[in-house]
Amino acid sequence: MSVQSEADNGLFPETGSDGLPVTSLAREFYTSKIWFDRDIEQVFSRRWLFACHISEMPNPGDYITMELGETSIIVARNKSGEIHAFHNVCRHRGTRLREPGCGNAAVFVCPFHSWSYNLDGGLRAAPHMPDIDKKCYSLKSVWSEVWNGMIFINLMSEQPKPVADYLRNADISGHELDRAKVVAVKDYLTKANWKINGETFQECYHCAVVHGDSLGKLINPITTYTAYEDSGDRTGDEGEVEFMIYSADLEDGQFAPGVKTESMSGQFVSKRLLGSGPEPQPARLISWFPNFSVGAWPDFAVIVDWIPVSAQETIFRTRWLVHQDAVEGKDYILDEVVELTHLTNIEDKKIVELQQQGVNSPAYIPGPYHQPLEDDARKYIAHYLAMVKK
């Protein structure tokens, strides 16, 4: 069935006067492998995707792999300190060079016939093939960029617009995340479609109920999550609706009295604040389609990305960062840095899995979004629909 015929059959939600969907998506979008494969091809393969923070690859030869559907990417730091990304596919017979994970390597050697590659992806040697033109058999490269200490990759064949162009209205430079370090990484395997994870992340209509004993004690969900400035380019490349939400400063009216940061106590959990200025940096939050968010607080930062695994499975990955000079046990206690976000993630994991179970039922009928408390989720889905309708 073509996308057009699907639209004619009413599969896509109706839109309001503001051009945004008024209901959630039909069942197929959250359950179908056909739609999952389309999401990988038409969304994730055409966007900048967060890979890792530079502190996770400090040394020459450090690398990580990224798994996205059938695609596997190696992101590596070469001997000059430059970041390179390339497909995890040997140019001889297509064997995977590295299994999922991270490590350090002087060269990448294929386990099948020992073709070897330099850290920039160039072919180093092909045993018993002395006449091969090495320049013709480099690993297939992937676009990569570093923005505020965060590494992004892009699978597009043509050079994409730079990350900084998309995030030009989002200024977190004062937190100097390029001088921060990752102190914890946790993966939460949620049995729910990536869009259910994404929609839930964009709104706080659920916060008073789901996070009443955690995040809900620190914020006013009515003022906080409707105060984000819609700073995205609403007519991005090729006219699609761009989604980037940025909060320049969460002020006292959005926090409970006395709250300074997003911790269980509401007080700083690291004595060594982010940035280098004399005053604490303001709390700044970014959410960027399709699966990236960073919360930069005065004393620590949280980077989140949600990675589609299958039509009904998503890895919700969270990284916690503190200043690179902060010393554990002296400047911060790791459990205190992690505690609130971890609890919030556990609560969200439960609720998105319950939603997926309900959506799987033939009784599911898309219901109306709350306006304005779910407007950011509406914008998120509007961007999604703009991409998959192409």
Tens-of-pLDDT digits for all 390 residues of the chain?
344 444 445 799 999 999 999 999 999 999 999 999 999 999 999 999 999 999 999 999 999 999 999 999 999 999 999 999 999 999 999 999 999 999 999 999 999 999 999 999 999 999 999 999 999 999 999 999 999 999 999 999 999 999 999 998 899 999 999 999 999 999 999 999 999 999 999 998 999 899 988 998 888 766 544 434 454 444 445 444 468 888 877 665 577 888 999 999 999 999 999 999 889 999 999 999 999 999 999 999 999 999 999 999 999 999 999 999 999 999 999 999 999 999 999 999 999 999 999 999 999 999 999 998 899 999 999 999 999 987
Q: Is residue 283 part of a domain?
A: yes
Q: How far apart are CA 290 and CA 255, in angstroms?
A: 27
Q: Which of the listed residues 95, 130, 165 is the one where a domain comes to its end?
A: 165
Q: How far apart are CA 69 and CA 368, in angstroms?
A: 31
**Per-residue pLDDT, 33:** 97
| Nearest C-alpha neighbor of 167 from the set 58, 244, 223 | 244
- Asked if 49 and 154 touch (Cβ cutoff 8 Å), the reply is yes
Q: Is residue 261 part of a domain?
A: yes
* 237 backbone dihedrals φ, ψ, rounded to 5°: -50, 135
Check whether residue 321 and residue 381 sit in a common domain.
yes
Q: Which of the listed residues 165, 197, 230 is the one where a domain comes to its end?
A: 165
H or E element that contains 304: strand 301-310
Q: How far apart are CA 281 and CA 4, in angstroms?
A: 48
Q: How far apart are CA 161 and CA 363, in angstroms?
A: 43
Check whether residue 238 and residue 377 sit in a common domain.
yes
From residue 90, alpha-carbon distances to 87, 94, 111, 115 in Å are 8, 5, 9, 8
Q: Is residue 313 part of a domain?
A: yes
Check whether residue 66 and residue 175 sit in a common domain.
no
Residue 334 lies in domain: 1-31+167-390
From residue 7, alpha-carbon distances to 40, 74, 196, 384, 388 in Å are 20, 38, 21, 14, 11
Check whether residue 52 and residue 11 sit in a common domain.
no
What CATH number did the domain enclosing 110 receive? Answer: 2.102.10.10
- Asked if 330 and 309 touch (Cβ cutoff 8 Å), the reply is no
Q: Which of the listed residues 118, 135, 165 is the one where a domain comes to its end?
A: 165
**Per-residue pLDDT, 4:** 42
110 Cβ contact partners less than 8 Å away, ≥ 6 residues apart: 90, 92, 95, 97, 116
